[in-house]
Amino acid sequence: MRLTAFVILLMTTMLIDCAPRTDVPSGSSNDSVLSGFERLRLRAHRRRHRHKTSFINENDELFDTIVDHHQHRHQHRTRKNKNAMNKNRERNEDLCAMERRTVDLNTLGDEFDPPFLVEIRCQNTADYERGYTESLVEQACVHDLLRCVQRYGEVHVSKRPVGSVYWSPHTLRNVPIGCDCMWPVDRYGHQEL
């Protein structure tokens, strides 16, 4: 029992003290000069350090790859943001004069979601509907070459009676939704694009 404990202790100290001998060159041809125990110890040391080195190199390569990928993504994002910041925001203006009006949809008996809609009317249509002009005057755009045309459409909202929890779909028809500058076919004919 004591002999077994002594051998285990001796082997443990040999494994812990795994520094190669500096007085003997570590080449494979000089291993014959060493005793069998020293050769075994030296081989185990080389094997341990060879695997440790390859394991460390693999970890280093993996870490470098991750860092490079992260830096590349960060540089790409930064480059994209710089380009976006250098480029001025595009601004577009309407070609037709128009008027926007917000209309409240809620009544004493019904509730709507959304509770309002925005009507967009060409200036000539708005003036005619208010009674400022006797007849609907043509509104021109682009140096009087094109015509402003009132667009109407459907707006879909939800509706419920006041005090109810149940909503139902509701469609508002013929809502003025825009004013577009368009090509007058009656004057110039069809476009060939």
Give ranges for CATH 2.10.90 in the chain.
98-188
Residue type, 37: F
Band (36; pLDDT cuts 50, 70, 90): confident
Q: How many CB atoms sit inside 10 A of residue 89's CB?
A: 5
Task: Check whether 70 has a pLDDT greater than 90.
Answer: no
**Is the CATH code 1.10.287 the one for domain 98-188?**
no
Residue 93, pLDDT score: 87
Stronger pLDDT, 99 or 6, i.e. the higher one? 99
Entry pTM:
0.50
pLDDT digits (tens, 9 = 90+) for 110-161: 999 999 999 999 988 888 888 888 888 888 998 889 999 999 999 999 999 9
Q: How many CB atoms sit inside 10 A of residue 24's CB?
A: 13
114 upstream amide cis, omega within 30 of 0: yes
pLDDT digits (tens, 9 = 90+) for 18-33: 555 555 555 555 555 6
- Separation CA 34–CA 31 (nearest Å): 5
Question: Cβ(154)–Cβ(140) under 8 Å?
Answer: no
Q: For the chain, what is the total number of helices (H) and then of strands (E)?
A: 4, 6
Proportion of the chain above pLDDT 70, given as a percent: 62
Find residue 177's DSSP bridge partners. Answer: 120
